Chain A
């Protein structure tokens, strides 16, 4: 039999339905691939027994004619998602040993649709990072390498394990989360498709909180169709998350391959940045040409507050994080480091449990929320956020259906390459993606080509609120023109 892990999620789904192979056979193929790929460090926990049990149950449901939409399809779950009885630490030392007694709504939706869990995926600690180098469990290695090079590259972050596992065929698809670009940037770095849905599309219940007004769950997948299939199952309104929105979940897969004729695509001039490599600009132009040839109308637009999105983000996100992460006190779960009194215990626990990037953000957040600084920083940032959102509302009101931009300002970089850099330099990775979180909009990263060094590069499509379907239509049009990209296996 051919390698089962070569199939996309849609192909595997159809083959399972046709009983070409069993869910157990498919799961075993992935468990074997994971074992051979441990050098990539994509998984922090493998759950083979659970996977086989779930696959056997899937086979029984298939035999009984009761298969769900994702029946028997093996997925990886980002370590940020609470999975009952299974390692859930957001890749932080401070959550040592934490095994939730409950399941996140998004993962519960996937299991209810028949999916199989392979394990938990590596990530930047508490989703704070753009390279997966802040994980307590070590860096993830990008399955892609530069032409003729054996230098290990980062997969991006924070959903670096998700992106690497999908690109290396260590799962059919993966859950991820995106607060400032954490789905789209790693997707772009690994030649995979990833969508951050509109804020409120997926429930945040059972996700380890980072910045609650920005966090959103979404999938990373082999191609645009697979991302559409996964999002359909992940999205739901949820009484346990009052910010989840009660709008019917459309059949996103039906949007794949639809005509883009007549769609108006905005090209924001503020996204042309100095210092961005020429090949990023060339990729963007290629995307514009593809959509124009497919019948879309290209219009120049202006989003004047774009340059303020990243600085506003680095007030809002740390402020919310400092509040959310106050719960890690060594009392209710995770790590405890003893101290001379309770305050000393708190301080010792948090000093030992949090990594450098997390501490940095907690301190920034605590500072901008502290007495006397709230108005100057936090309140001002929230006002700027209103202006950023208004920029988008203005162009959408002018009839723009979606916006096309580059996904990242560069291809994947080397592990450790930015270790001595200023923290702000790492933050610039999210310069094209963070505006979307600030405005709560949906954004799809789709692979669009390779760099001169042979590394994947992605484009980003930004949509109207709750119009993920148009993004899937446009993303599939780009994919149809450029094809999909897979790394050469070296591991």
Chain B
């Protein structure tokens, strides 16, 4: 399977990464090279094989449904590029 530049643009949009025409062109070639490489997997007979979900078969541990950490808005927002009164600020999304 291979991708065209329009597909690369669509995928870049899904991934929220802006790409220039030159980049889309270059990435199309690179992605096709990688997709060609992973295409080898089609040789493998996977009929009846369960997909792996965990390399170590352990039962997921549960914890008490209680608050362990919290009430620290200052720490949570301290790395935000733009914040005010412990709120993250973003461009207007609702008219």
Q: What is A's interface to B at a CB cutoff of 8 Å?
A: 97-102, 198-200, 213, 239, 242-243, 245-246, 305, 307-308, 310-312, 314-315, 322, 326, 329-336, 338-339, 341-348, 350-351, 354, 359-360, 362-364, 366-367, 370, 376-377, 379-387, 389, 422-424, 427, 438-440, 465
Interface residue total, chain B, C-beta cutoff 8 A: 53
* Chain B residues within an 8 Å CB radius of A439: 55
CA distance A423 to B52 in the complex (A): 26
What is the CA–CA distance of A199 and B93 in the complex, to the nearest angstrom?
A: 42
A208 vs B38: C-alpha distance when bound (angstroms): 26
Assuming the contacts A307-B40, A423-B30, asked whether A243 and B56 have C-beta atoms less than 8 A apart, the reply is yes
Q: Does B21 contact A (CB under 8 A)?
A: no
Residue contact B79 to A366, C-beta cutoff 8 Å: no
Find out whether the CB atom of A334 lies under 8 angstroms from the CB atom of B58.
no
Q: Do A363 and B11 contact each other (CB < 8 Å), given the known contacts A101-B78, A331-B90, A348-B18? A: yes
The answer to whether A386 and B51 touch across the interface, beta carbons within 8 angstroms, is yes
- Chain A contact residues: over half helix, strand or loop, or mixed? helix
CB-based nearest B residue for A325: B15
Contacts A200-B56, A341-B91, A439-B55; A333 near B80 (Cβ below 8 A): yes
Chain A residues with Cβ below 8 Å from B41 are 308, 311-312, 315, 380-381, 384
How near does chain A come to B59, taking the closest CB pair, in angstroms?
10
Residues of B within 8 A of A (CB): 1, 3, 7-8, 11-19, 27, 30-31, 33-35, 37-44, 46, 49-56, 58, 60-61, 63, 72, 75-76, 78-82, 88, 90-93
- Output the least CB separation between B83 and chain A (Å): 9
Given A312-B41, A342-B91; 20 other pairs, CB 8 A cutoff:
A101-B78, A242-B61, A310-B37, A311-B37, A314-B38, A326-B16, A332-B79, A334-B79, A336-B82, A342-B92, A343-B16, A345-B91, A347-B18, A360-B30, A363-B27, A364-B34, A380-B44, A382-B53, A423-B30, A423-B34
Q: Which residue of A lies closest to B43 (CB)?
A: A308
A97 to B82, alpha carbons, bound, how many Å? 13
Name the distance in Å between A274's Cβ and chain B's nearest Cβ. Answer: 15
Q: Tell me the interface secondary structure of chain B in the complex.
A: loop
Q: What are 28 A-to-B residue pairs whose CB atoms are below 8 Å?
A: A101-B72, A243-B56, A311-B38, A315-B38, A332-B79, A334-B81, A335-B81, A339-B91, A344-B91, A345-B91, A347-B13, A348-B18, A350-B15, A360-B31, A360-B34, A363-B11, A363-B17, A363-B27, A364-B31, A364-B35, A379-B51, A380-B41, A382-B52, A383-B49, A384-B44, A424-B34, A438-B55, A465-B56
* Residues from chain A with Cβ under 8 Å of B18 in the complex: 347-348, 350-351
- Find out whether the CB atom of A383 lies under 8 angstroms from the CB atom of B31: no
- List the A side residues contacting B3 at CB < 8 Å: 367
With A333-B80, A380-B41 known as contacts, the answer to whether A389 contacts B52 (CB < 8 A) is yes
B residues near A360, Cβ cutoff 8 Å: 27, 30-31, 34
A200 to B27: give the CA distance in the assembly, Å. Answer: 35
